[in-house]
Amino acid sequence: MGWAIAIHGGAGAILQSLTDSHRAAVEQALPELTEVGASMLRNGATALDVVEKATIALEECELFQAGRGSVLTAAGTHELEASIMDGQMGKAGAVCGLRTVRNPIQLARQVLERTDHAFVGGSGAEDLAKAWELDRVPNEWFTTERRLDELRRHLSDPDASRPHPATVGAVACDEKGFVAAATSTGGTTGKLPGRIGDAPLINAGTWADSRVAVSCTGIGERFILAGAARMVAARMELAGDSIEEAAKRVMASMPPESGGMIAVDTAGKMTLPFTSQGMYRGWANSDGDRGIGIGP
Protein backbone atom coordinates (compact mmCIF):
# COMPACT_ATOMS: atom_id res chain seq x y z
CA MET A 1 0.00 0.00 0.00
CA GLY A 2 1.42 3.38 -0.99
CA TRP A 3 1.28 6.53 1.08
CA ALA A 4 0.19 10.00 -0.11
CA ILE A 5 -0.20 13.51 1.27
CA ALA A 6 -1.70 16.75 -0.01
CA ILE A 7 -1.79 20.15 1.67
CA HIS A 8 -3.49 23.44 0.86
CA GLY A 9 -2.87 26.99 2.01
CA GLY A 10 -6.06 28.68 0.86
CA ALA A 11 -8.04 29.26 -2.33
CA GLY A 12 -9.57 32.35 -3.91
CA ALA A 13 -8.67 35.28 -6.14
CA ILE A 14 -5.13 35.03 -4.84
CA LEU A 15 -3.42 35.99 -8.09
CA GLN A 16 -4.90 39.49 -7.86
CA SER A 17 -2.77 40.39 -4.86
CA LEU A 18 0.19 38.05 -5.35
CA THR A 19 3.42 40.05 -5.48
CA ASP A 20 6.63 38.61 -6.88
CA SER A 21 8.18 38.47 -3.42
CA HIS A 22 5.18 36.71 -1.89
CA ARG A 23 5.04 34.22 -4.76
CA ALA A 24 8.72 33.41 -4.26
CA ALA A 25 8.19 32.91 -0.53
CA VAL A 26 5.18 30.65 -1.09
CA GLU A 27 6.97 28.61 -3.76
CA GLN A 28 9.83 28.05 -1.33
CA ALA A 29 7.56 27.20 1.59
CA LEU A 30 5.14 24.76 -0.07
CA PRO A 31 7.68 21.98 -0.81
CA GLU A 32 9.09 22.28 2.71
CA LEU A 33 5.64 22.13 4.28
CA THR A 34 4.65 19.14 2.15
CA GLU A 35 7.82 17.35 3.18
CA VAL A 36 6.85 17.64 6.85
CA GLY A 37 4.13 15.06 6.27
CA ALA A 38 5.90 13.10 3.53
CA SER A 39 8.91 12.38 5.73
CA MET A 40 6.62 11.10 8.48
CA LEU A 41 4.77 8.81 6.07
CA ARG A 42 8.04 7.37 4.77
CA ASN A 43 8.85 6.39 8.34
CA GLY A 44 5.51 4.67 8.93
CA ALA A 45 3.57 7.39 10.76
CA THR A 46 -0.22 7.22 10.91
CA ALA A 47 -2.34 9.44 8.70
CA LEU A 48 -3.83 11.12 11.77
CA ASP A 49 -0.42 12.09 13.17
CA VAL A 50 0.67 13.30 9.75
CA VAL A 51 -2.25 15.64 9.08
CA GLU A 52 -1.93 17.14 12.56
CA LYS A 53 1.80 17.85 12.20
CA ALA A 54 1.44 19.12 8.63
CA THR A 55 -1.30 21.50 9.71
CA ILE A 56 0.72 22.72 12.68
CA ALA A 57 3.52 23.59 10.24
CA LEU A 58 1.02 25.54 8.14
CA GLU A 59 -0.32 27.33 11.23
CA GLU A 60 3.23 28.35 12.13
CA CYS A 61 3.91 29.77 8.66
CA GLU A 62 2.59 33.32 8.50
CA LEU A 63 2.41 33.22 4.70
CA PHE A 64 -0.91 31.42 5.05
CA GLN A 65 -4.15 32.12 6.84
CA ALA A 66 -4.24 30.09 10.05
CA GLY A 67 -2.47 30.43 13.36
CA ARG A 68 0.23 33.09 13.04
CA GLY A 69 -0.83 35.34 10.14
CA SER A 70 -4.57 34.79 10.56
CA VAL A 71 -6.95 37.49 9.38
CA LEU A 72 -8.68 39.88 11.76
CA THR A 73 -12.35 40.28 12.61
CA ALA A 74 -14.17 43.57 12.15
CA ALA A 75 -13.32 44.26 15.79
CA GLY A 76 -9.60 43.87 15.11
CA THR A 77 -9.21 40.58 16.98
CA HIS A 78 -8.49 36.98 16.02
CA GLU A 79 -10.94 34.09 16.37
CA LEU A 80 -9.46 30.80 15.23
CA GLU A 81 -11.04 27.45 14.39
CA ALA A 82 -9.97 23.97 13.31
CA SER A 83 -11.07 20.36 12.91
CA ILE A 84 -9.50 16.96 12.42
CA MET A 85 -11.00 13.58 11.54
CA ASP A 86 -9.64 10.04 11.53
CA GLY A 87 -11.13 7.77 8.88
CA GLN A 88 -10.05 4.59 10.65
CA MET A 89 -11.82 5.39 13.92
CA GLY A 90 -14.60 7.47 12.40
CA LYS A 91 -13.97 10.08 15.09
CA ALA A 92 -13.48 13.83 14.86
CA GLY A 93 -12.49 16.79 17.00
CA ALA A 94 -13.33 20.42 16.24
CA VAL A 95 -12.87 23.79 17.96
CA CYS A 96 -13.89 27.38 17.28
CA GLY A 97 -13.81 30.86 18.80
CA LEU A 98 -10.20 30.44 19.96
CA ARG A 99 -8.29 33.56 21.00
CA THR A 100 -5.10 32.33 22.67
CA VAL A 101 -4.41 28.77 21.45
CA ARG A 102 -1.25 28.90 19.38
CA ASN A 103 -2.06 25.78 17.33
CA PRO A 104 -5.82 25.21 17.08
CA ILE A 105 -5.38 21.87 15.31
CA GLN A 106 -3.60 20.50 18.40
CA LEU A 107 -6.62 21.33 20.54
CA ALA A 108 -8.93 19.74 17.95
CA ARG A 109 -6.84 16.54 18.14
CA GLN A 110 -7.09 16.55 21.93
CA VAL A 111 -10.88 16.97 21.75
CA LEU A 112 -10.97 13.92 19.47
CA GLU A 113 -8.88 11.79 21.80
CA ARG A 114 -9.69 13.03 25.31
CA THR A 115 -13.42 13.78 25.24
CA ASP A 116 -16.65 12.17 24.14
CA HIS A 117 -17.48 15.28 22.12
CA ALA A 118 -16.86 16.22 18.49
CA PHE A 119 -17.03 20.02 18.81
CA VAL A 120 -16.11 22.47 21.58
CA GLY A 121 -16.07 26.25 21.22
CA GLY A 122 -15.38 29.57 22.89
CA SER A 123 -14.41 29.81 26.55
CA GLY A 124 -14.94 26.09 27.06
CA ALA A 125 -12.37 25.29 24.41
CA GLU A 126 -9.96 27.86 25.86
CA ASP A 127 -10.37 26.28 29.30
CA LEU A 128 -9.50 22.86 27.89
CA ALA A 129 -6.34 24.24 26.26
CA LYS A 130 -5.31 25.70 29.61
CA ALA A 131 -6.10 22.49 31.53
CA TRP A 132 -4.20 20.38 28.99
CA GLU A 133 -1.25 22.82 29.04
CA LEU A 134 -1.22 23.52 25.32
CA ASP A 135 0.82 26.48 24.07
CA ARG A 136 -1.11 29.73 24.48
CA VAL A 137 -0.19 33.21 23.28
CA PRO A 138 -1.63 36.73 23.47
CA ASN A 139 -4.25 37.36 20.80
CA GLU A 140 -2.03 39.96 19.12
CA TRP A 141 0.67 37.30 18.56
CA PHE A 142 -1.34 36.09 15.55
CA THR A 143 -1.28 39.56 13.93
CA THR A 144 0.98 40.48 11.03
CA GLU A 145 1.27 43.80 9.22
CA ARG A 146 -0.07 42.19 6.06
CA ARG A 147 -3.30 41.20 7.80
CA LEU A 148 -3.64 44.63 9.39
CA ASP A 149 -3.41 46.21 5.93
CA GLU A 150 -6.08 43.83 4.64
CA LEU A 151 -8.42 44.79 7.48
CA ARG A 152 -7.86 48.52 6.90
CA ARG A 153 -8.71 48.13 3.23
CA HIS A 154 -11.80 46.10 4.04
CA LEU A 155 -13.08 48.60 6.61
CA SER A 156 -12.52 51.51 4.22
CA ASP A 157 -14.40 49.71 1.41
CA PRO A 158 -16.39 46.69 2.64
CA ASP A 159 -17.89 46.07 -0.81
CA ALA A 160 -14.53 45.69 -2.55
CA SER A 161 -13.62 42.20 -3.73
CA ARG A 162 -11.17 40.33 -1.51
CA PRO A 163 -8.71 37.56 -2.41
CA HIS A 164 -10.26 35.07 0.10
CA PRO A 165 -6.96 33.29 0.87
CA ALA A 166 -8.74 31.41 3.64
CA THR A 167 -7.88 28.21 5.47
CA VAL A 168 -5.07 25.65 5.51
CA GLY A 169 -5.39 21.90 5.60
CA ALA A 170 -3.92 18.48 4.98
CA VAL A 171 -5.10 15.01 3.93
CA ALA A 172 -3.04 11.83 4.07
CA CYS A 173 -3.15 8.12 3.36
CA ASP A 174 -0.65 6.07 5.36
CA GLU A 175 1.08 2.83 4.34
CA LYS A 176 -1.72 0.79 5.94
CA GLY A 177 -4.34 2.47 3.78
CA PHE A 178 -5.91 4.58 6.53
CA VAL A 179 -6.81 8.21 5.79
CA ALA A 180 -7.28 11.39 7.83
CA ALA A 181 -8.01 15.07 7.22
CA ALA A 182 -7.35 18.33 9.07
CA THR A 183 -8.38 21.95 8.45
CA SER A 184 -7.51 25.20 10.27
CA THR A 185 -8.30 28.88 9.69
CA GLY A 186 -8.63 32.38 11.05
CA GLY A 187 -11.82 32.94 9.06
CA THR A 188 -12.33 35.83 6.66
CA THR A 189 -11.08 39.40 6.81
CA GLY A 190 -13.48 41.69 8.64
CA LYS A 191 -15.84 38.88 9.66
CA LEU A 192 -18.41 39.54 12.35
CA PRO A 193 -17.13 38.47 15.77
CA GLY A 194 -18.59 35.04 16.45
CA ARG A 195 -18.85 34.06 12.78
CA ILE A 196 -18.02 30.38 12.20
CA GLY A 197 -16.93 29.06 8.81
CA ASP A 198 -16.67 25.61 7.32
CA ALA A 199 -13.20 24.77 8.68
CA PRO A 200 -14.38 23.46 12.08
CA LEU A 201 -17.54 21.88 10.70
CA ILE A 202 -17.32 18.14 10.11
CA ASN A 203 -19.18 17.31 6.86
CA ALA A 204 -18.66 20.81 5.43
CA GLY A 205 -14.94 21.63 5.60
CA THR A 206 -13.46 18.36 6.82
CA TRP A 207 -14.30 14.67 6.38
CA ALA A 208 -12.59 11.28 6.61
CA ASP A 209 -14.02 7.77 6.51
CA SER A 210 -13.14 4.28 5.26
CA ARG A 211 -12.95 5.55 1.65
CA VAL A 212 -11.64 9.11 1.49
CA ALA A 213 -10.33 12.14 3.39
CA VAL A 214 -11.23 15.70 2.34
CA SER A 215 -10.20 19.22 3.43
CA CYS A 216 -11.87 22.28 1.88
CA THR A 217 -10.89 25.92 1.45
CA GLY A 218 -12.57 29.01 0.02
CA ILE A 219 -15.79 30.85 0.80
CA GLY A 220 -16.87 28.98 3.91
CA GLU A 221 -20.58 29.68 3.73
CA ARG A 222 -20.80 27.96 0.35
CA PHE A 223 -19.06 24.84 1.62
CA ILE A 224 -21.37 24.77 4.63
CA LEU A 225 -24.51 24.96 2.49
CA ALA A 226 -23.19 22.24 0.17
CA GLY A 227 -21.99 19.89 2.92
CA ALA A 228 -19.08 19.69 0.53
CA ALA A 229 -16.53 17.46 2.26
CA ARG A 230 -19.03 14.75 3.20
CA MET A 231 -20.66 15.00 -0.23
CA VAL A 232 -17.44 13.79 -1.88
CA ALA A 233 -17.56 10.65 0.24
CA ALA A 234 -21.28 10.20 -0.42
CA ARG A 235 -20.78 10.36 -4.18
CA MET A 236 -18.05 7.74 -3.95
CA GLU A 237 -20.20 5.48 -1.77
CA LEU A 238 -23.62 5.90 -3.38
CA ALA A 239 -22.92 6.93 -6.97
CA GLY A 240 -19.76 4.90 -7.47
CA ASP A 241 -17.72 7.96 -8.48
CA SER A 242 -13.94 7.85 -8.47
CA ILE A 243 -12.27 10.31 -6.12
CA GLU A 244 -11.55 12.63 -9.05
CA GLU A 245 -15.13 12.50 -10.36
CA ALA A 246 -16.66 13.00 -6.92
CA ALA A 247 -14.55 16.03 -6.00
CA LYS A 248 -14.97 17.64 -9.41
CA ARG A 249 -18.76 17.21 -9.38
CA VAL A 250 -19.11 18.58 -5.86
CA MET A 251 -17.09 21.67 -6.78
CA ALA A 252 -19.10 22.10 -10.00
CA SER A 253 -22.37 21.99 -8.04
CA MET A 254 -21.37 25.08 -6.04
CA PRO A 255 -21.44 28.73 -7.22
CA PRO A 256 -18.52 29.80 -9.45
CA GLU A 257 -15.21 30.59 -7.79
CA SER A 258 -16.20 29.08 -4.45
CA GLY A 259 -12.71 27.75 -3.71
CA GLY A 260 -11.25 24.27 -3.77
CA MET A 261 -10.51 21.07 -1.89
CA ILE A 262 -7.88 18.37 -1.50
CA ALA A 263 -8.79 14.71 -1.18
CA VAL A 264 -7.05 11.33 -0.93
CA ASP A 265 -8.54 7.84 -0.99
CA THR A 266 -7.38 4.68 0.75
CA ALA A 267 -5.45 3.58 -2.34
CA GLY A 268 -3.37 6.76 -2.16
CA LYS A 269 -5.03 8.48 -5.13
CA MET A 270 -5.18 12.26 -4.78
CA THR A 271 -7.18 15.06 -6.35
CA LEU A 272 -6.88 18.82 -5.78
CA PRO A 273 -9.66 20.59 -7.74
CA PHE A 274 -10.57 24.26 -7.41
CA THR A 275 -12.92 26.66 -9.19
CA SER A 276 -11.37 29.84 -7.83
CA GLN A 277 -8.58 31.80 -9.50
CA GLY A 278 -5.98 29.82 -7.61
CA MET A 279 -5.21 27.54 -4.68
CA TYR A 280 -1.95 27.21 -2.77
CA ARG A 281 -1.22 23.47 -2.76
CA GLY A 282 1.43 20.79 -2.51
CA TRP A 283 1.45 17.00 -2.79
CA ALA A 284 3.70 13.94 -2.61
CA ASN A 285 3.34 10.16 -2.68
CA SER A 286 5.35 6.96 -2.40
CA ASP A 287 5.57 6.66 -6.20
CA GLY A 288 7.70 9.79 -6.35
CA ASP A 289 4.96 12.10 -7.68
CA ARG A 290 5.41 15.47 -5.98
CA GLY A 291 4.71 19.05 -6.82
CA ILE A 292 3.25 22.41 -5.83
CA GLY A 293 0.82 24.82 -7.44
CA ILE A 294 -0.69 28.28 -7.09
CA GLY A 295 -2.65 29.08 -10.24
CA PRO A 296 -4.43 26.75 -12.68
The model's pLDDT over 65-119, given as tens digits with 9 standing for 90+, comes to: 899 999 999 999 999 999 999 999 999 999 999 999 999 999 999 999 999 999 9
Q: Which of 55, 143, 167, 217 is catalytic?
A: 167
- pTM, two decimal places: 0.95
The model's pLDDT over 242-264, given as tens digits with 9 standing for 90+, comes to: 999 999 999 999 999 999 999 99
Q: Has 143 been annotated as catalytic?
A: no
> What are the distances in angstroms from CA 13 to CA 61, 119, 210, 236?
20, 30, 33, 29
Q: So what's the pLDDT on residue 153? A: 87
**For the chain, which ranges sit under pLDDT 50?**
none
Q: So what's the pLDDT on residue 296? A: 87
